[in-house]
A and B are shown apart, each in its own frame.
Chain A
Amino acid sequence: MVIVDLQHVTYRYPMTEQSALEDVSLHIEEGEFVAVIGPNGAGKSTLCYTVAGFIPHFFKGELEGTVEVAGVESRQASLEQRVRSVGLVFQNPFNQISGAKYTVFEEIAFGLENLGVSRAEMPARVEQVMALTGITDLAERSPYALSGGQQQRVALASILVMEPKVLVLDEPTSQLDPVGTREVFGVIRNMALRGMTVLMVEHKLEWVAAFADRVIALENGRILAEGTPAEVLTDERLLEHHFGFSRYTLAAREGRKEALWPPDRRLPVTLDEAETGFREGLRRP
């Protein structure tokens, strides 16, 4: 079942002349993990805001085309509907802390309060997402006194507790150190395994290759390439447009010129693929 459906979406922010998105069509199936890559300024965050309904409800400007999430056209959707269908987590963990609450537990419950969820229902739901994101121990801490990785997991839990159908992640680890990155990706992988539909913007191609069912390469507000990680992350057009490749892909691409990488094998996007290919390429009959 298609859960996110964008048809010919073009969007311009107020007081700008160039479109941030230009004729973008995107369909996401329920349970699919879609990654979005692209240089800065390509329109990745704009795409996130559009799917999450912040465009056109928070950012004004000109939106053309249709955006449908869980069967509801986003222009018609109320805030409650939007929040219950799409959860948005973005880069800076610190700015996602509401500032309204003094403990992690209450911070997570904040969304439930706003949705009018009964008080009796809250503890179980909050505890469940805390367990899911590995922050049970932090329940009574101040959300401000945490590391970046912990704060980002609080942000994730605060969104997950509202049980959205789609999770939109805008570079969720770009501000984190390796420990924090691993913690947050661990939670995301966990959610994906449980069948959550995810749209994730990410620069770290190795993680994209490991997680995504499908990759969308965005440039200048347009979709440049779309397909499986293996297809998109080795697409020559990405190099021409300065997206970059992972070192695995680049090394194999160079090695292929002198048959260090098997000429008939497609370029690798993960460590495992690179290992297998180079083992084969370096073995001489």
Chain B
Amino acid sequence: MRERLSFYIQRHSPIHRLNPFTKLTLAFALVLISFFSPWYWTALCLILLVIFPLAIIGRVGREFFAAALRLLVPVTGFIFLMQSLFLPGGETVLFRFWFLRVTLESVARAFLISMRIFGMVSSFILFLLTTHPSELMTDLTRRGLPGTVAYVIISTLQILPQMQAKAQTIIAAQRSRGLAVEGSFIRRVRALVPLVGPLVFGSLVEVEERAIAIEARAFSATGPKTSYREIDDTPFDRTVRWLMVALVVLSLAARFFG
């Protein structure tokens, strides 16, 4: 069974030490600023001058760039290509090919959209790499997120790999009963019924048992709860968060009044 059940990578870095809520604010702010800001190069600058350096400061550079290369570059590349080819309008024709007409304007728009998406996804990758899920939930619960919501989120994250393992067992059990899972599309779709049934039923049984188990540990106790994990929230954290809010507001203002 895998030990690691989230994207989180344990390292010691200034980013890791930030309050999780600060990191969440930072991730959202970066996205909002890159979308709101009227200046064309904002998204690219944020990526190059903020997100990349933060990944290196956070000592997750290798994992970050690996994820970016494997996932982001192909996806944004594809988006860029499609947008360049199919975005209508524009005067400055760069070249024509068959019925396609690629203009400078469409390329520019496509580049902007791709950079925004790249920025959005990469800032969340950075967030996930440097934030322990249970620290995030503990902190959000302290800030008023209902405990049940936090529990559902975090236990789902943990249980997904287990569900996957269970699905493997079910597939093995049904193949042993002569179920052919290879072959035509129709055949494969038909093979789904014997797989999904036990998975759903099994989960229902497990949900009840798990509910009993967490009740046995006073989960829905009404008194005040405590937390073993202590999460720092320093003046620096608060400053960063307000700064982010201010920057988002500024970029919004710039868009509408600038």
Contact = CB atoms under 8 A, between A and B. Distances in A.
A112 B215 contact: no
B218 A90 contact: no
B227 A113 contact: yes
B218 A100 contact: no
B134 A100 contact: yes
B96 interface: no
B155 interface: yes
A256 to B, nearest CB: 44
A115 B1 contact: no
A114 B218 contact: yes
B214 A98 contact: yes
Given A113-B225, A113-B226, A99 B155 contact: yes
A230 B182 CA distance: 58
Contacts of A105: 228
B179 interface: no
Given A100-B154, A101-B134, A114-B225, A83 B206 contact: no
Interface in B112-140: 132-134, 137
Given A80-B218, A116-B223, A145 B3 contact: yes
Contact of B221 (A83, A87, A106): A83
Interface residues of A, number: 44
B212 interface: yes
Contacts, number: 121
Given A83-B216, A142-B3, A100 B228 contact: no
A118 B5 CA distance: 29
A102 B64 CA distance: 22
B216 A144 contact: no
Interface in A64-79: 78-79
B11 to A, nearest CB: 16
Contact of B218 (A79, A99, A144): A79
Contacts of B5: 102, 142, 144
Nearest to B224: A116
The number of chain B residues touching the other chain, given as a range, is: 35 or more
B2 interface: yes
A168 B1 CA distance: 29
A129 interface: no
Nearest to B134: A102
Task: Label chain A's interface by main secondary structure.
Answer: helix
B216 A52 contact: yes
Contacts of A58: 211-212, 215
B176 interface: no
Nearest to B6: A102
B222 interface: yes
Interface string B216-246: 1111111111111110000000000000000
B134 A79 contact: no
Given A90-B209, A99-B158, A144-B158, A115 B218 contact: yes
Contacts of A99: 151, 154-155, 158-159, 210
Contact of B217 (A54, A110, A116, A142): A110
Contacts of B154: 99-100
A122 B230 CA distance: 12
B213 interface: yes
Nearest to A101: B134
B162 interface: yes
Interface string A88-104: 11101011111111100
Contacts of A141: 3
A90 B212 contact: yes
Nearest to B229: A106
Contacts of A142: 3-5
A112 B226 CA distance: 8
9 shortest interchain CB distances as A-B pairs = A99-B155, A111-B217, A95-B209, A114-B218, A96-B213, A83-B218, A109-B228, A88-B216, A99-B158
Interface of B: 1-6, 132-134, 137, 151, 154-155, 158-159, 161-162, 206, 209-230
